[in-house]
Amino acid sequence: MNQLEQIKSSIAELQAAIHEAHPSMPTLLREIHTKLKADPANVTLLDEEDIAIIVSGLKIQTNTEISSGTKKSSTAAAPRKPSASSRLNKIISGAGLSSEDF
């Protein structure tokens, strides 16, 4: 059995361990990590489902929730003041400055 087949077998065992809340889950996660670390090219050969199983196991084992993205601020962004170089360019070009430049 090649390395990728061994990893996929371990992932299948991990999926069963997740559903059964089996105590072998940490060992399976460590085994999968060791095999993937030994040959990182195998990571690119895994299906999205396989990766999702590994992530699910890690979330359960570490009691962690992975964020889906960043929250947008509810407050409107304050307008930015012109930079010193843009004010200087206005003075040099003779356009003058306004109260908005400060």
Residues 78-95 have pLDDT tens digits of 677 777 777 777 777 766
Residue 35 lies in a domain: yes
29 φ, ψ to 5°?
A: -60, -40
Torsion-angle region of residue 2: left (phi > 0), alpha (psi -120 to 50) or beta?
beta
Q: Do the beta carbons of residue 36 and residue 11 sit within 8 Å?
A: no
Residue 46 lies in a domain: yes
Residue 83 lies in a domain: no
Residues in the chain: 102
The residue type at 39:
D
Residue 97 lies in a domain: no
Residue 75 lies in a domain: no
**Structure confidence by residue, pLDDT tens digits, 6-62:** 999 999 988 888 878 778 888 999 999 999 999 989 988 999 999 999 999 888 888
67 φ, ψ to 5°?
A: -70, 145
Residue 73 lies in a domain: no
Average pLDDT of the residues in 65-83: 67
Q: How far apart (Å, rounded) are the C-alpha atoms in residues 14 and 21? A: 10
| pLDDT in the model for residue 38 | 92
Higher pLDDT: 73 or 21? It is 21
**Other CB atoms within 10 A of residue 5 CB:** 10
Average pLDDT of the residues in 53-80: 75
Q: How far apart (Å, rounded) are the C-alpha atoms in residues 26 and 44? A: 23
Residue 67 lies in a domain: no
Number of domains the chain contains: 1
| pLDDT in the model for residue 96 | 63
Say if pTM beats, i.e. exceeds, 0.85: no
Residue 96 lies in a domain: no
Q: What residues make up the domain containing 35?
A: 3-62
